[in-house]
Amino acid sequence: MTATAITGARLFDGIGARAPATVLIDEGRIVSVGGPVPEGAEVVDGSGGTLLPGLIDAHVHTSPRALALALAFGVTTELEMQGTHTRDERRHISDDDALADVRSCGFAITPPGGHPSELFPEGSRPGPPPGARPAGEPPLMPFSTTPEEAMAFVPRLIARGADYIKFMVDDGTVEGHPGLPMLDQATLSAGVAEAKRHGMITIAHALTLDAAYMAIEAGVDGLAHVFMDQPHTEEVVSLLRDSDTFVVPCVVLNASMMGLTGDELADDPRVASRLDDDWMTTLRSSFGHYPQGKLSHVLDTVRALHDAGVDILAGTDASVPLPFLGGLAHGASVHHELQYLTRAGLTPSQALRAATSTTARRFGLTDRGRIAEGLRADLLLVDGDPTTTISDTLNTRAVWRRGTRLEAREEAP
C-alpha cells in the first residue's frame, strides 16, 4: 500500500480545531500529523476542507447494509445496543473496509415480554433482521426476572462476545404501553454489579426520569438515552455528574417519539442524494408514541448535563428501514444529532467530541476517535469548517476506513 498524505486541510483532531497540517496515513494507520510529505506518497489536497476522525454513532441496531450506509456518511464505527454483531459474528465486517466497524452488547437484559417487544406490530418479533446474521448459533436472549437470572446471563453474554452489557429499564410509559414488564431494582442492580465484577462497561436504556434514577442507583456506566417524560431536576444532574455516568441522549429518537419526523434532514440534498426510497420513507416518518413530550425539555436537559460536566455521546437509535421506527437513518442521523446538540447549547467542537474522542474514551476504543500518530486511519474530509458551522459535516469529500478510501458510489448502498 502506498502512503497517502492529506495536505492543507484544517483539522478537528477529536478534541478541538487545529491549523492545517499534513496527515500521513499508511498500512491503515495514521503515521504522522504535521510532518513532511514523503517522496512517493499519494497526495490528497484538502485545501478548503476540514479533516476529522471518523464519526462514531453510540446507539444503533445494525446490519451490513446499514453499516455501508453509515460509512457513506463518514460514520466509521457504530455501537450496537441490541443486535447480533458480537465479537465472533462480525469478522466479515471487521475486515471489510466498505462497511463501518461495529461493536455490540448482543441482546439486552430485559424481562420476558419487556421492552422492546412492544414496539413491534402483532406477529413480528424483535430480533435480527433477515440476513443480518451469518449462519451460527441463534443469539442469546437474556430474559430475566430475578437477580439470579440476570447474574447468570452476564458471563454467558461475555462468552458470546458481548463488548458491553445493556439493561432495559422501561415500563412502557413513553411507548404508549404502560405496565410493560420491567426489570426491578434488585434484578437490575445485581446484573450491573455482576457485569462490573467481570470488568464490563454497563449501559441502561431508560426513557423516563424514574428509570434513570433506577439505573443510577444500580451504578451503570452510561445511559443509552436521556429521559423525555419530565424536565430535568438538579438532583438527577448532580447524581449523573457525581457518578461520572455518561449519557447518549439520542435527541433524534426522542424527537421522533414525540412525532417529529426527520423531514428537515431529508430535505437536505446532501442527505437525500445518499438515501434509497426505503430510508427516505423511514426518515420522513416517526415513532410518534409520545406527542405530549416537549423537545425543549430534552434540549434543556442535555444542556444542563453538559454544563455540569457529564460526558455527552452522540447516538441515534437508527435500526431498520421501517416507518414505525422512523425519523432516523444510519449515518445521516448522526449529523442531525450533532445539529441538535448544538441547538442544546454545545459548541460545534463540543458536539464533534461527542461523536469522536469522548465516545472512544468511554467505550475503551483506544485505537480511534482522534487524529493522532498510531491510531486507525478512520477519517472524514469535508468541505468547509464544521468547528464553526456544524452542518458542514455533511459536505463529504472523502472517507477513509482503516486507511482505505471509500469509493464514491453511483447509487445508495
Residues that bind Zn ion (CB under 5 A): 81, 317
Whole-number minimum distance, CB 30 to Zn ion, in Å?
Answer: 31
Whole-number minimum distance, CB 132 to Zn ion, in Å?
Answer: 15
Which residue lies nearer to Zn ion by CB, 317 or 337? 317
| Cα(26)–Cα(327) distance, integer angstroms | 38
Which residue lies nearer to Zn ion by CB, 170 or 317? 317
Whole-number minimum distance, CB 59 to Zn ion, in Å?
Answer: 6
DSSP secondary structure string, 370-393?
S--TTSB--EEEEES-TTT-GGGG
**Enclosing H/E stretch for 23:** strand 23-26
Which residue lies nearer to Zn ion by CB, 317 or 385? 317
| Cα(199)–Cα(4) distance, integer angstroms | 38
| Cα(385)–Cα(393) distance, integer angstroms | 8
Which residue lies nearer to Zn ion by CB, 81 or 305? 81
Phi, psi of 286 (to 5 degrees): -155, 160
Residues composing the chain: 413
How would you label 272-308 residue by residue, b for 16+ Cβ within 10 Å and e otherwise?
A: eebbeeebbebbbbbbbbbeebebebbbebbbbbbee
Whole-number minimum distance, CB 317 to Zn ion, in Å?
Answer: 4
Cβ-proximal residues to 198 (8 Å cutoff; 6+ apart), any chain: 154, 155, 158
Whole-number minimum distance, CB 166 to Zn ion, in Å?
Answer: 9
According to DSSP, residue 273 is labeled T
Which residue lies nearer to Zn ion by CB, 73 or 107? 107
Which residue lies nearer to Zn ion by CB, 71 or 250? 250
Cβ-proximal residues to 176 (8 Å cutoff; 6+ apart), any chain: 289, 290
| Cα(397)–Cα(237) distance, integer angstroms | 39
Whole-number minimum distance, CB 61 to Zn ion, in Å?
Answer: 6
Whole-number minimum distance, CB 318 to Zn ion, in Å?
Answer: 9
Which residue lies nearer to Zn ion by CB, 321 or 386? 321
Q: 268, exposed or middle or buried, with CB in 10 Å at 0-12, 13-18, 19+?
A: middle
Whole-number minimum distance, CB 236 to Zn ion, in Å?
Answer: 21
Within 181-336, strands assigned E span 202-206, 222-223, 246-247
Whole-number minimum distance, CB 256 to Zn ion, in Å?
Answer: 12
Whole-number minimum distance, CB 257 to Zn ion, in Å?
Answer: 12
| Cα(132)–Cα(64) distance, integer angstroms | 7
Which residue lies nearer to Zn ion by CB, 50 or 256? 256
Angle CA(189)–CA(213)–CA(114) in degrees, nearest 5?
Answer: 65
Which residue lies nearer to Zn ion by CB, 110 or 189? 110
Identify the three-state secondary structure at position 298.
helix
Which residue lies nearer to Zn ion by CB, 171 or 317? 317
398 in Cβ contact with 71 (< 8 Å): no
